A = this chain, B = another copy of it.
Amino acid sequence: MDNNEELNAEQRIIDAAADVFEENGFDGARMQQIADKAGINKALLHYYFRSKDLLFEKVFLIVAERIFAGFIKAFEEKGTIFQKIELFVTKHQELLYKNRRFPIFFFNEISRNPMLMKKLVAKLEFNNRFKNLFIQLEEEKKAGIIRQDVDVRHLMINIVSLSVFPYIGRPVIKEIMSDFGFSYEQFLEERKSVVANFVINSIKA
């Protein structure tokens, strides 16, 4: 259960804290549990990070930054808009599958303390990350490849919604799928192609 003994204490604390916070949320997490998982004394947590709040903020930003970086990278692939969407959705699914507990944790904590989002944005600088995508979409609109009424903002949120929601609503979808005689895992697998097709069908002229 304890992390690699080779790493220094500070890194072991961060790893352990990420795990415990992601599993239990800020309010549900216990400093003692983090200390145990890191294999150190509880006082050492405060030696390195002063308080639960500061430890949480540091860990939250580290984890969120890592995952968002992966998310954003998938935006920067080359190709037609349809190819981009396909690649983008596939990459997101893989990333999400490897970090299944992250979405509900992230959105819950952000909702509890929206200031975290400001701090995350400051670290990510994704202000003009979407500029290229925006330009490309306008071009493909003019070329008659995609519908005139497509709105970049809504399109982006739509893609993310379709990718992320199944992980947020995992227990709900699990229940519904079993009603239909399917497994949740199978549903996720199918979704890799379904979502891309769904989006493409909805925007192509």
A interface residues (Cβ-Cβ under 8 A, vs B): 24-25, 27-28, 104, 107-108, 110-112, 114, 117-118, 121, 127, 147, 149, 151, 153-154, 156-158, 160-162, 164-166, 168-177, 179-180, 182, 187, 190-191, 194-195, 197-199, 201-203
Contacts and interface: CB of A to CB of B under 8 A. Distances in A.
Given A127-B179, A179-B127, A154 B108 contact: no
Copy number in the complex reads 2
A128 B161 CA distance: 26
A25 B108 contact: yes
Q: Which 3 residue pairs across A and B have the least CB separation, nearest first?
A: A202-B202, A161-B165, A27-B27
A160 to B, nearest CB: 7
A162 B169 contact: no
B172 A165 contact: no
20 contacts: A25-B25, A27-B27, A104-B107, A104-B111, A107-B168, A111-B168, A111-B171, A117-B175, A121-B175, A151-B190, A153-B182, A153-B187, A154-B194, A157-B176, A158-B162, A161-B161, A161-B165, A164-B169, A198-B202, A201-B203
Contacts of A147: 201
Nearest to A190: B154
Identify the interface centre among A28, A160, A165: most chain B CB within 10 Å of its CB: A165
